[in-house]
Amino acid sequence: MTASEDEDDLLLDSVIKETWTCHYVPGANLPSCKEDTKVVGHDCKYCKRRFCIKHRAPETHGCSTKPVKLTKYGRPKLKK
What are the phi and psi torsion angles at 18 (to 5°)? -65, -40
Q: For the chain, list the strands marked E by DSSP.
A: 42-43, 50-51
pLDDT tens sequence across 19-71: 788 888 887 788 888 888 888 889 888 888 889 999 998 888 888 766 666 77
> How close are the terminal C-alpha atoms of the chain, in Å?
42
pLDDT at 20: 80
- Which is more confident, 48 or 16? 48
Structure pTM?
0.58
